[in-house]
Amino acid sequence: MKRLAGWMLSSPATLAVSLFLIIPVAATISVTFTAPGGVFAPYVEFFSSGFQRTVLWRTFEVAALTTIMALFFGLLTAYVVSRCPPWMKSVLIVLAVFPLLTGVVVRSFAWLIILGRNGVLNNTLEWLGVIERPMALLYSQTSVVIAMIYIFIPLMILVLIGVLENIPDDLLQASSSLGASPTATFVQIILPLATPGLIVGAVLVFTASFTSYATPHLLGGTRQMMMGTFLHQRAMVSFDWVSASTVAAIMVVVIVTTVLVMTRLAKRLNPMAS
């Protein structure tokens, strides 16, 4: 009876996920297996193209760099926030969440103003005498990574603050009383206990970065095309739905595989995360 009640309670959510997620994704992927030339012809064509392999690798590289940098700066920021007094912690959390109140397009467009030839950064460096002429910062992989770190690091900070707040102060005090340095305490106690939050934050940032469209489109353009912008070009410019479906299928496979590998590796390295 309890099992039947559980199925009844979960059936609306299961139906919604199936209708709005599983079925559309399955329909998109199925298009690639019914294309002329054979079952795997679209995938063979994709990986036979050096340009398309470069786009896939660039997307993976940008997402990985964004995730690593967000993990580093997000963990340090979240640790500092979690150790602050309650009133200051509330203020800092609001400041961390505030960028999420604006759209991704607006935040990405702000970096056009900052990194442009006549932008804030170039003008400041020229005024300080660091450079003699404006630097070409836009439409590069670096500009895309910088913007993505700024856009997605609030997600990492919010996840890690919740995890770090739950670490008992007694553990830190015991570590200090036993002669451990702050660095040793951080590496041997805080970091292992924060692993679940690091896993969740890394999954969120990597997935969002890998599937991002607006930021690579505005700051990378055609020079630094990524899978999201390439998918849009195939679907909305070339109207090649088979190629667009192939790109979407590859993105799904890469994301799912990366998340599974990351989770499995984290559990092996730290059983406390299981």
pLDDT in tens, 214-242: 899 989 887 889 999 999 999 888 888 88
pLDDT tens-digit series, residues 30-51 = 888 877 777 788 898 999 999 9
Residue 2: predicted pLDDT? 63
pLDDT at 4 over 80: no
Report yes or no: 255 and 207 within 8 Å, Cβ to Cβ. yes
Give the single-character DSSP code of 273: G
Q: What is the pLDDT of residues 18-33, one digit of tens each?
A: 787 788 888 888 888 8
Name the nearest CA neighbour of 89 among 179, 183, 164: 164
- Using one digit for the tens of pLDDT, what is the confidence trace for 252-262? 999 989 888 88
Task: Collect all residues with Cβ–Cβ distance below 8 Å to 208 and sequence separation of at least 6.
Answer: 152, 155
Which residue carries 């036979």 as its tokens? Answer: 48
CA dihedral 96, 62, 55, 252 (to 10 degrees): -60
**pLDDT for the residue 269:** 61
Instruction: Say yes or no to pLDDT of 5 above 80.
Output: no
Lookup: tokens for 144: 């895309």
Angle of CA points 153, 155, 160, to nearest 5°: 95
Residue 183 and residue 189 in contact, taking contact as beta carbons nearer than 8 Å:
no
Mean pLDDT (the chain) is: 85
The pLDDT of 70-94, averaged and rounded, is 88
pLDDT of residue 231: 92
Contacts 24+ apart (CB under 8 A), 63-66: 63/206, 63/209, 63/210, 64/206, 65/145, 66/145, 66/148, 66/149, 66/152, 66/205, 66/206, 66/209
pLDDT band at 17 (very low <50, low <70, confident <90, very high): confident
Would you say 96 and 154 are in contact if contact means Cβ atoms under 8 Å apart? yes
Q: How far is CA 193 from CA 86, 188, 198, in A?
A: 22, 9, 10
Residue 274 pLDDT grade (very low, low, confident, very high; cuts 50, 70, 90): very low
Residue 271 confidence (pLDDT): 46
Question: pLDDT at position 273, please?
Answer: 43
DSSP string, 120-135: HHHHHHHHHTS-SS--
Higher pLDDT, 106 or 9: 106
Q: What percent of the chain has pLDDT over 70?
A: 96
| 164, 165, 170, 176: CA torsion to nearest 10 | 50
Least confident of 93-102, 169-178, 211-220: 169-178
For residues 233 and 55, give the distance between their C-alpha atoms in angstroms, rounded to a whole number.
13
- Taking the C-alpha atoms of residue 69 and residue 71, their distance in angstroms, rounded to an integer, is 5
DSSP state of 225: -
Q: What is the pLDDT of residue 71?
A: 93
Which CATH number is associated with domain 57-225?
A: 1.10.3720.10
Query: Where do the domains of the chain lie?
Result: 57-225
Q: What is the model's pTM? A: 0.86
Two structure tokens written together for 158? 């919010």
Higher pLDDT, 11 or 198: 198
